[in-house]
Amino acid sequence: MYSYEYPRPMLTADCVVADKSGRLLLIKRKNDPYKGFWALPGGFMEMYETIEQCAVRELKEETGITVPVESIRMVGVYSEVDRDPRGRCVTVAFAADTDDAAEAGDDAAEARWFDVEALPPMAFDHEKIVADWEKIYRRKYDKE
């Protein structure tokens, strides 16, 4: 259906999800790459959806949490050439808030809330994404 003679990157969306105390939701990866590592919920965009819809869909698939697409906020775009060992991949990271319980699903082996000060080592460049989220959004939780 689509043809293009030039190589093109894969596109993903990731979510930095915080509860009202500022804890972050991570999933433990069930599959390679980074099998067994903690990561932000996220995944590959489908041809029929926007990047925001992808973020909301992947969050629901991996954690069972539903957030309205209009409630997510962009953290940034991450396009380092070697950020994903599967190939050239660009991600758009979003922030979301919820106090809902999470349950692992899809390709997540586990879903768990972590204190921001005690995050485990993470897959891909997710530590950088969280650091950027902290610069932009963390103040919101420090005030509450």
Task: Tell me the catalytic residues.
Answer: 110
Tell me the backbone φ, ψ of residue 54, rounded to 5 degrees.
-60, -45
User: Cβ distance 112 to 41 under 8 Å?
Assistant: no
d(CA 131, CA 128): 5
Quote the Cα angle for 17-45-101, to 5°: 25
CB atoms closer than 10 angstroms to residue 121: 9
Q: Amino acid identity of 33?
A: P
CB atoms closer than 10 angstroms to residue 114: 15
